[in-house]
Amino acid sequence: MILFALSPHASLAQALHDLTGVERGRCAVSRFSNQELYATLETDPAGRACLVLGAVAPPDEHLLATLLLVHTLKKEGARTVTVLLPYLGYARHDKAEPRRSRATDSSLAHQLFPIPVRSLSPAELFARELATLPLAEPAIVAPDAGALERCDAVRRAAGIRRPLAHFTKERTPEGIKHSVLHGAVGRQAVLVDDILDTGGTLVSACEGLRRAGVEEIIVMATHGLFTGRAWERLWSLGVTRIYCTDTTPPPGHLGSAAVVVLSVAPLLAGCLKPAAKDGEP
């Protein structure tokens, strides 16, 4: 088995190698003088099971680079090609609306992709971190009803008995608004979401939690994009720590030890081991 990785995931690829011993393949994605992308392999994939640690997220060149690399591996005789996508982009607009394009999220991917798809959950990673914190049976809170399943996975993995709480969320011309809080919360709460982008959703949810009497908030977001600076308002709303994963390379402007980046390498490694048993090591 050979692992080929796009340059944004170089650190994650090394972590996977350290955990599993998977062979690292050498490749490059370059540009012609007219700025068109092309992929080059320096490791022969013929007859081998190949992994591509790619990206389907902006900048859009990552998507094209992933597709070019997969195509080149198949063209050069790779026995199988499995793509690892730590962050499945283009999931922000997943509602069917007239005259607008539609993206997909993890739940729809199984229906829309004509190939086998397996989704991974960071619940165990987050649960292990919660176990290290001085929290007394905190409330696990979903920013909206759509996040309940994700939050319940964290709650169960952490062995927390308190029922989930969640908000009613609506989009207004002024932005996200969290109105009704369903369920009970105490002094401490853990807010779990899939993406921390600009932070607007989480800021609004934290405002709602403060109105409900929550004093300390832990934020756990699978994908930490940290776009812009509006998310920094979270620190003034009782947030004491933000956890995210390395599904996307962390931006360099975070500037706070209270932002903890967890590696998803153990999750990906768990997928590779069964595959290695069925094929080559």
Q: What is the mean pLDDT of residues 219-227?
A: 95
Q: What mean pLDDT is predicted for residues 129-147?
A: 92
Per-residue pLDDT band for 115 (boundaries 50, 70, 90) equals confident
Residues 178 and 75 in one domain: no
pLDDT value of residue 176: 76
**Sequential DSSP letters for 77-125:** TBSEEEEE-SSB-S-S--S--TTS-----HHHHHHH-SS-------HHH
- Residue 234 — very low, low, confident or very high, per pLDDT cuts 50/70/90? very high
On whether residue 100 sits in a domain, the answer given is: no
- What was the pLDDT predicted at 206? 96
Residue 93, pLDDT score: 67
Specify whether 271 is located in the same domain as 222: no
Confidence (pLDDT) at 274: 53
Domain presence at residue 112: no
In this prediction, residue 251 has a pLDDT band, given cuts at 50, 70 and 90, of: confident
> What pLDDT does 280 receive?
53
Q: Are residues 150 and 229 in the same domain?
A: yes
Are 55 and 12 part of one and the same domain?
yes
Based on the structure, what is the number of domains in the chain?
A: 2
Same domain, 271 and 227: no
Q: Which of 134-138, 147-151, 164-168, 211-215 has the lowest mean pLDDT?
A: 134-138
Would you say residue 11 lies in a domain? yes
Residue 114, in any domain of the structure: no
The answer to whether residue 110 sits within a structural domain is no
CB-based contact 265:86 (threshold 8 Å)? no
Residue 36 belongs to what domain range? 2-86+266-278
Same domain, 133 and 68: no
Higher pLDDT, 96 or 267: 267
Contacts of 91 (CB under 8 A, 6+ apart): 103, 104, 105, 106
- Let me know whether 273 and 217 are in one domain: no
pLDDT digits (tens, 9 = 90+) for 9-52: 999 999 999 999 999 999 999 999 999 999 999 999 999 999 99
Q: Per the domain annotation, does 166 fall within a domain?
A: yes
Residue 171: per-residue pLDDT: 77
Are 132 and 257 contained in the same domain? yes
Residue 271 banded pLDDT, cuts 50, 70, 90: confident
| Higher pLDDT, residue 154 or 146 | 154
> pLDDT: is 57 or 111 the higher one?
57
- Rg (alpha carbons) of the chain, rounded to whole number: 20
Residue percentage of the chain with pLDDT more than 70: 91
Q: Please report whether residue 177 resides in a domain.
A: yes
Do 127 and 259 fall within a single domain? yes
Same domain, 80 and 140: no
pLDDT value at residue 44: 97
pLDDT of res. 225: 92
Do 127 and 249 belong together in one domain?
A: yes
Same domain as 152, residue 257: yes
- Specify whether the backbone of 16 is left (phi greater than 0), alpha (psi in -120 to 50) or beta: alpha
The 10s digit of each residue's pLDDT in 82-93 is: 999 999 887 776
In the DSSP assignment, the letter for residue 22 is P
Q: What are 259's two structure tokens?
A: 């932002």
**Given this model, what pLDDT does residue 203 score?**
95
Out of 49-58, 65-74, 110-119, 211-220, least confident range: 110-119
What's the confidence (pLDDT) of residue 117?
Answer: 84
Residue that wins the pLDDT comparison between 24 and 274: 24
Which CATH number do you get for residue 78? 3.40.50.2020
Position 96 in a domain = no
